[in-house]
A and B are shown apart, each in its own frame.
Chain A
Amino acid sequence: MSALVEIRDLWIEGRSDEIWSPIINGASLSLKKGEVLGLIGESGAGKSTLGLAAMGFTRDGVRISKGSVMFDGIDLITASAAKKRELLGKRIAYVAQSAAASFNPAHKLIEQHTEGPVQHGVMSRSDSVEDGIELYRRLRLPNPEEIGFRYPHQVSGGQLQRAMTAMAMSCRPDLIIFDEPTTALDVTTQIEVLASIRDIVEQFDTAAIYITHDLAVVAQMADRIKVLLKGDEVEEADTRTMLSHPKEDYTKSLWAVRAFERPQKPAVHTNATPVVSVQNVSAAYGKIPVLHDVSFDIHEGRTVAVVGESGSGKSTTARCITGLLPPSAGVIEFDGKALPANYKSRNKDQLRQAQMIYQMADTALNPRTTIGDIIGRPVQFYMGLTGKQKRRRVEELLEEIEMPAAQYIDRLPSELSGGQKQRIGIARALAAEPKFIICDEVTSALDQLVAEGILKLLARLQDDLKLSYMFITHDLATVKAIADEVVVMKEGKVVEQGPKQEMFVPPHHPYTDLLLSSVPEMDPDWLTNLLNERGVDNIGDAAVDKMS
């Protein structure tokens, strides 16, 4: 059987400041019908660009300079706009990373679903609605008959992502490109989306290119894996071979990331005063209660990881501790003394002692302020240093986060990479010389190698400066890497808490169990085994059997 997609020696360039610089340097790939190819690499590796190029499409300011993209015997680079319009949507479909941003909020899901088939003349509108409902059922969406008649904002993120997959499937394409479809989802939701995508791709014998930076995910989905680094192909192999015998050093380093784990620290004295003590805190947004009776302690030099899916109240707890959301009941003690509930009534020293690092470094750093000023402000504000002393302190802090001061001090945040921005966020928190830092999902927006660097930096700073961390995350690999104690939250309540080594050994609270078992592992059979264990696959198959 000949290849469905055949990309040969493809070179792609991107334009910045009127100069064309290479993005993809001579990539080649071929994909047979029904085969799933995983594309992995860090951000900036050119995964998405290559994925889009397989559709014969380039983003604005990007051009294909050399090479060929053949789809079923049609050269997509030289094909006319009319010819491509005929193919895209009908025979080639695309599933974007953020379904929430990709759906038109003004139309119901089914309206958007039927648009493709009707435009391409594949089905009539009523047939397409019926087919949409069947696809929703196959993708295990709840209430498949009704869900299509909702607007995108009335559906959860994971459901929206599945609705988008259904939409891509609406014309029964030969090729689907999945661009990080589960990156923005919780682990528990991710599983459902992964399982349904895998099923539907298998059922219709569709070829797929699966772009992701998560190795464990790609291990479940792909038949073959291709690793990219800065536009160059590192290696390509069959999933099992790739996982067990990676050849290149870069691939090995990617594989090793998940191995980082800090040894558990000895338990603290029971009578030691915790740095932060959250006692029976309840909180509400307006009249809607969000937190119910949350209590936990954070001791000096320890990391408490707070885990749970989105909406479980992790970040709200952090907002209570910082005083942005005064709790409706309960106290927050710092070094044994109760803190005023509202941050406005706290004094400068109380504010200084507890600092925060944000998830999105992009919105956490003022884009119009230089790095020197961002870090310099707390130095000046809290320590009263000015002029040369301030600059020296800023330089020290930059050294501390392993960024050469001379090179970065006068840059703007937009001139830094994601990981570097996050380091600046850390330096800003350190500048206040706090005892306690809240890390709100600090690594979830970063590539794994970069995230590992950040975690190692945080661990080193903790040892050097005796810092205490409250580490909010939904990624259990991160928890394994850095936590001393773990607090599991669900629907605003603490479900389980204890030292890390106890948390990773059964028996668990059922929710902890679900959370733990949902973290993808590098074993390609993991998803299949898990679904068999949970019995979900059978439900899916039964639905499929009924249909055919």
Chain B
Amino acid sequence: MSTLLTLVLILLGVAAGGWVLRFAGQKATGNAPMFRDMPYAVAFGYVLGACLLMFSVWYFFQPTVTEAGVPNAGVVFFRWAVQFFILSAIAAFLFRALGRTVGTRGSKKLFRQMPLTASFGVLVVILYAFTAIFAAWLAPHGQEAIFAKVNVLPGGNAATGGDPLFPLGTDQIGRDLLSRLIYGAQNTVGIAFVTTCLAFFLGGTLGFLAATLQGWLDQVLSRAVDVLMAIPSLIFALLLMTIASAWAGSERWLLTVYMILIIAVIDSTRVFRLARAVGLNIVVMDYIEAAKLRGEGLGYLIFKEILPNATAPLLAEFGLRFCFVFLTIASLSFLGVGIQPPLADWGTMVRDSAQFINFAAFSPLTAALPLLAAGAIALLTVGVNFVVDWMLHRSSGLKE
């Protein structure tokens, strides 16, 4: 009750602060348009933002261990988050500065127009791609290698339960987590990328075909897609994976191929809808009519006239879809039917160490175990979306 009361009081204080800020601003600047035309909500927002910022700074400098000797988990995690945020911002800034001085004229110009978020996204994507490609050289140990030391905590500091040999610790059966994270990039990201490309090839082609030809083909394809979309996708994927695992038998790699196909087909339905909708808007344009009257074939119409004009929405969808596919694979692995052990996979890693999150209040380092793989997933998702947002902004900016 008292918490609620405090919250109400703080909000009232902020509300009063907003009014004071606006009034003081008007008086101090002699009614400058910025303060004169400032809506009250905006003034409130400024004050609220300032309060939150001050609170964050105060909270950041709280001790990590309480007087009773128990770790203050909230502060620890908050510090990690803030430090990571600042480091990423610096990295992104340095990366952009590098891009502006090194490279061809075109790439320099590209970096000059790039917002910080986009350069962070590009950096993340490059790092992940690099890690995935050179996983075998980067990883200190094999993804299947098992060591005697189990449940080593991250940090590499022997005093806090770590081991310098395993900087990110080991799992319950003694596999090096850093190596598995690196190989996980290869497996999870690689498979997700292939799956998304396949989904786009399938959904995009059929969607544009439906939009261009219309008539019965459109009806058949659209209704088929409706049926597929009516079934909840994760459950549908689980069902199909169960069947597929019976078909695959003991061939583990075959199951991965089946998984790629199944997720690609399920996700292609979403791509189909988008491609069809975008395509329908484009086929009514006069330049399509001109091409038809010229006697152009279907291939030319789709790939030369429609596709270039549909890239912006499709790219945006690609970013989102990639993340969804990625998460679907991770969740299938989490449920035990996705990427099969001993192959390292982030979804499986989260599942294996998920229960450690319960120790967050007592030992933040232990709780960090599942967060490593989950953070790897989250970081890529955020990075890809930053890049896609920027591309979208650029391509829409070109039009008008």
Is A539's CB within 8 Å of the partner chain B?
no
Is A271's CB within 8 Å of the partner chain B?
no
- Complex interface residues of chain B between 8 and 63 (CB less than 8 A to chain A): 33, 36-37
Interfacial chain A residues near B36, Cβ < 8 Å = 80-81
Is A363's CB within 8 Å of the partner chain B?
yes
Docked pose: A78 CA to B31 CA in angstroms: 11
- Complex interface residues of chain A between 331 and 369 (CB less than 8 A to chain B): 343, 346, 348, 351, 355-356, 358, 360, 363-369
Interfacial chain B residues near A78, Cβ < 8 Å = 33
Interfacial chain B residues near A369, Cβ < 8 Å = 304, 308
Docked pose: A364 CA to B295 CA in angstroms: 16
Q: Does B33 lie within 8 Å of A381, measured CB to CB?
A: no
Majority-rule SS of B interface residues = helix
Docked pose: A78 CA to B32 CA in angstroms: 10
Among B192-200, B218-226, B252-260, B285-293, the stretch that binds chain A is: B285-293
Is A536's CB within 8 Å of the partner chain B?
no
Interfacial chain B residues near A531, Cβ < 8 Å = none
Is A299's CB within 8 Å of the partner chain B?
no
Beta-carbon nearest neighbor of B397 in chain A: A17
Residue of B287, B294, B398 near A378 (CB, 8 A) is B294
Closest Cβ–Cβ distance, residue A316 to chain B (whole Å): 14
Interfacial chain B residues near A323, Cβ < 8 Å = 293
Q: Does A432 lie within 8 Å of B290, measured CB to CB?
A: no
Docked pose: A225 CA to B294 CA in angstroms: 47
Report, as a range, how many residues of chain A touch the other chain: 20 to 34
Q: A365-B287, A368-B309, A414-B398 are in contact. Are A80 and B293 (CB under 8 A)?
A: no
Q: Does A414 lie within 8 Å of B399, measured CB to CB?
A: yes
Docked pose: A369 CA to B311 CA in angstroms: 13
Is A277's CB within 8 Å of the partner chain B?
no
Is B305's CB within 8 Å of the partner chain A?
yes
Is B352's CB within 8 Å of the partner chain A?
no
Interfacial chain B residues near A368, Cβ < 8 Å = 308-309, 311
Q: Does A363 lie within 8 Å of B287, measured CB to CB?
A: yes
Closest Cβ–Cβ distance, residue B294 to chain A (whole Å): 6
Q: Does B294 lie within 8 Å of A366, measured CB to CB?
A: no
Interfacial chain A residues near B304, Cβ < 8 Å = 369
- Complex interface residues of chain A between 389 and 447 (CB less than 8 A to chain B): 414, 428, 432
Beta-carbon nearest neighbor of A360 in chain B: B286
Residue of A80, A82, A358 near B286 (CB, 8 A) is A358
Residues 266-308 of chain B, each 1 if its beta carbon lies under 8 Å from chain A, else 0:
0000000000000000000111011011111000000011001
Is A322's CB within 8 Å of the partner chain B?
yes
Beta-carbon nearest neighbor of B309 in chain A: A368
Q: A80-B33, A364-B286 are in contact. Are A351 and B309 (CB under 8 A)?
A: no
Interfacial chain B residues near A514, Cβ < 8 Å = none
Residue of A82, A351, A363, A377 near B293 (CB, 8 A) is A351
Question: Which residue numbers of A lie inside 8 Å of B, CB to CB?
Answer: 78, 80-82, 322-324, 343, 346, 348, 351, 355-356, 358, 360, 363-369, 377-378, 381-382, 414, 428, 432
Question: Which residue numbers of B lie inside 8 Å of A, CB to CB?
Answer: 33, 36-37, 285-287, 289-290, 292-296, 304-305, 308-309, 311, 398-399
What are 20 A-B interface contacts by the 8 Å CB criterion?
A78-B33, A80-B36, A81-B36, A81-B37, A82-B37, A322-B293, A346-B295, A348-B295, A351-B293, A351-B295, A358-B290, A360-B286, A363-B286, A364-B285, A366-B285, A366-B308, A367-B309, A367-B399, A369-B308, A414-B399
> Which 3 residue pairs of A and B lie closest in terms of their CB atoms, listed nearest first?
A368-B308, A364-B286, A81-B37
A358-B286, A381-B295 known; 18 new pairs, CB 8 Å cut-off, are A80-B36, A80-B37, A81-B37, A82-B37, A322-B293, A324-B289, A324-B293, A351-B293, A351-B294, A351-B295, A356-B293, A364-B287, A365-B287, A366-B287, A367-B309, A368-B308, A369-B308, A378-B294
